[in-house]
Amino acid sequence: MKTGDQYRQSIVDGRSVYFEGEAIKDLNEHKVMNMAVDEIAKAYDRFYDPTPGAQNPLLGAPKGLEALRDRVYKLSESADVLTTTTYQSLATLTSAAPKVGETRPEYVERMYAFQDFVLKEDVRLTECITDAKGSRSSSPSKQIDKDVYVRVVERKSDGIIIQGAKLHITGAAFGHFLMVMPTKNMKDGEEDYAVACAVPVNAPGVKIINTTPAPRGDEIRHFPVSGRHVMPDGFVILDHVFVPYEHVFLDGEGAYAATFAHSLGLWERLGGTAFMADQADVLVGLAQLIAEANGTAGIAHVKEKISEMIIHATLIRGCLEAALAHSKETPDGFVFPDELYTNAAKYHGAANFNLMVRHLHDIGGGAIVTAPSIADLENSDIAPYVKKYMSTDGQNGEWRTRLFHGIRDLTADSYGGWHLVTNLQSGGGLYAQRLVTRKHYPMDHAKQLALKEIGLNAD
C-alpha cells in the first residue's frame, strides 16, 4: 500500500495537466490544485497498513448484503473522492465481467489481472464515460468530426491507438489510470467506438484541463467547505494515445459496448444516492441550526418547511435502504443493489435538491450571502459591531456568522452552484434516471393489478 507521501510522489510523473490556461508542473505545488492532493494523500494515510499484502478495505467489490451496506456507509463516512471512483470502477469491472466474457474470454482475464494490479499497487482510477458527443441528435458514426466519441484509430500488433475526449471526469488529473469506457451500445459500422481500456494519466497524448469551484482569492477562510475539499473535474484529451492489449477490455464488439456504462451507472447512482441522502441530512441539520440561531425554530411555517425537508431526506434514505435490502447476489457472491429503488431514489434526490436548497435559503435569510467575512471579525474597528449585530439574545454573533458562511459555501456560492448542476447530471441526468427506472419497473404486474382492480380481463 501507498502512504500519502508516496502518493504525492507518484503523481509527479510527467503528466500534462492544465488549469486556467497554464500547464502545471507539480500538482503538489499549485495554489488551487494542492487542496485536492492533500485530501487524497490524507485518505491514503488513513487506510495505510504496512502489513505485506494489505489492501485498502474500501476498494474490492463487496460480497454479501451486509458487506455492501457496510461499504456504502463507510465510503460516505471516510473516503475521499478518488477512493470512491476507484471502488466504483472495480465494482463495474466485476459486474460487467460475466457479460463481456460472452464475447471474448481474454477480456475477463485482463480485467481481473488489472483489478489485482490496482489493489496490489494501491493506485487510483477515475471513470471516463462521457464523450464530447458533438451534436446530440446524431450517432457517433454520423458526426462531422469523427473524434467526438472516443474511438480506435489504429490497431497494432501490441495494442491500439485511441483518439477523442472524455468530459466532466471527476479527479482525472489526480489518479493513476483513466478507466475509458463507451457511453452506449454501438451499431454496425461503429465498431471503432466500442472501446474500453485503462490508460495511465501520464501516457503520451493525454492532456487534462482542470476546472473547479474551489475558491480563487486569498481569503480561503471565507469558504469553510470548498476551501477544504473540492475535487476538480477534468476535460480529458486523448490525442493518439497508445494502449497495450493487456489494458484493453473491449475493442470492436458494439453490442457489448453499453455493458460498462450500465454497470457503472448502477454503482454511480448508488453512490450518488448515498451521497444525496447524507447531503439531505446535512441540509436539514443546517436548516434547524440556523432557525435556532435566528430564534425562529418555533415558528409554524419554519417548522413546516423543515418537516418537508425531513420527509424528503427520509424518502431518499428509505429507497436507498430498500435498494440495499433487495440486493441481488451473483453465483460468485458479489452483490448488486436493486436497480429500481436505486434509480428512483437517485432521481428523486436530484430532482428535489433545488427545493431543499430553497427551503434552507428561505429559513436562513439574506445573511447567508451578506454576513461579513472572517477578516471582518479580525479588524478591531468593526469586529465588535459584527459580533454585536450578528448575535441573537446577546450571544454567539461569531458562531452565527460562521454558520451563514457554511450555508453560503455549500449552497449559495461557487461550490453550491457546482452541486446544483452535478447532482442533476451525475449518473446521466434526470432523463436517463427516469428512463432506467421505467426499464426496471414491473409494468406487466402493474397492468395485471389494474385489470383485476377494475374487473376486466386482459384485452
According to CB under 8 A, which residues from 220 to 239 bind a copy of itself? 222, 224-225, 228, 233, 235, 237, 239
Task: Provide the β-strand partners of residue 125.
Answer: 177
Of 232-271, which residues contact a copy of itself (CB under 8 A)? 233, 235, 237, 239
Q: Which helix (H) or strand (E) holds 423?
A: helix 414-425
Of 3-62, which residues contact a copy of itself (CB under 8 A)? 16, 18, 20-23
Integer Cα distance of 190 and 194 in angstroms: 7
Q: 430: exposed, middle or buried (C-beta count within 10 Å: 0-12, 13-18, 19+)?
A: middle
Of positions 87, 271, 345, 427, contacts a copy of itself by CB under 8 A: 345
Q: In whole angstroms, how close is the CB of 276 to a copy of itself at the nearest point?
A: 13
Please say which residue, 330 or 373, places its beta carbon nearer to a copy of itself: 373
Task: Provide the β-strand partners of residue 335.
Answer: 329
Taking CB under 8 A as the binding criterion, the range among 2-10, 34-42, 186-194, 219-227 that sits at the site for a copy of itself is: 219-227
C-alpha cell at 56: 485498502
Q: Is 78 in the site for a copy of itself (CB under 8 A)?
A: no
Taking CB under 8 A as the binding criterion, the range among 36-44, 151-159, 263-271, 282-290 that sits at the site for a copy of itself is: 282-290
C-alpha cell at 249: 477490455
Please say which residue, 1 or 309, places its beta carbon nearer to a copy of itself: 309
Please say which residue, 9 or 307, places its beta carbon nearer to a copy of itself: 307
DSSP states of 223-248 as a string? -TTTTT--PPEEEEEEEEEEEEGGGE
C-alpha cell at 436: 432506467
Of positions 57, 204, 285, 333, contacts a copy of itself by CB under 8 A: 285
DSSP states of 9-56 as a string? HHT-SS-EEEETTEEES-GGG-TTTHHHHHHHHHHHHHH---STT---
Of 369-428, which residues contact a copy of itself (CB under 8 A)? 369-379, 381-382, 385-386, 388-394, 396, 399, 402-403, 405-414, 416-418, 420-422, 424-425
Contacts of 84 (CB under 8 A, 6+ apart): 75, 271
Contacts of 383 (CB under 8 A, 6+ apart): 376, 377
Of positions 29, 219, 329, 332, contacts a copy of itself by CB under 8 A: 219
Q: In whole angstroms, how close is the CB of 139 to a copy of itself at the nearest point?
A: 12
Asked whether the beta carbons of 226 and 413 are under 8 A apart, the reply is yes
Q: In whole angstroms, how close is the CB of 118 to a copy of itself at the nearest point?
A: 26
Please say which residue, 63 or 326, places its beta carbon nearer to a copy of itself: 326
Grouping H, G, I as helix, E, B as strand and the rest as coil, residue 335 is strand
Q: In whole angstroms, how close is the CB of 294 to a copy of itself at the nearest point?
A: 5
Integer Cα distance of 121 and 62 in angstroms: 19
Q: Is 129 in the site for a copy of itself (CB under 8 A)?
A: no
Please say which residue, 60 or 182, places its beta carbon nearer to a copy of itself: 182
Q: In whole angstroms, how close is the CB of 89 to a copy of itself at the nearest point?
A: 19
Q: Is 151 in the site for a copy of itself (CB under 8 A)?
A: no
Of positions 66, 301, 328, 332, contacts a copy of itself by CB under 8 A: 301
Of positions 284, 327, 335, 336, contacts a copy of itself by CB under 8 A: 284
Please say which residue, 7 or 404, places its beta carbon nearer to a copy of itself: 404
Q: Is 73 in the site for a copy of itself (CB under 8 A)?
A: no
Q: Is 175 in the site for a copy of itself (CB under 8 A)?
A: no
Integer Cα distance of 72 and 88 in angstroms: 11
Please say which residue, 167 or 203, places its beta carbon nearer to a copy of itself: 167
Helix axis angle, 414-425 relative to 429-440, nearest 10°? 30
Task: Provide the β-strand partners of residue 11.
Answer: none
Of positions 1, 79, 241, 368, contacts a copy of itself by CB under 8 A: 368
Grouping H, G, I as helix, E, B as strand and the rest as coil, residue 392 is strand
| Pairing between β-strand 195-200 and β-strand 177-180 as defined by DSSP bridges | antiparallel
Q: In whole angstroms, how close is the CB of 150 to a copy of itself at the nearest point?
A: 11
Name the residue type at position 278: D
Q: Is 125 in the site for a copy of itself (CB under 8 A)?
A: no
CA neighbor of 206 nearest in space, from 14, 344, 405, 401:
14
Q: In whole angstroms, how close is the CB of 395 to a copy of itself at the nearest point?
A: 9
Asked whether the beta carbons of 91 and 52 are under 8 A apart, the reply is no
Of positions 207, 230, 258, 271, contacts a copy of itself by CB under 8 A: 207
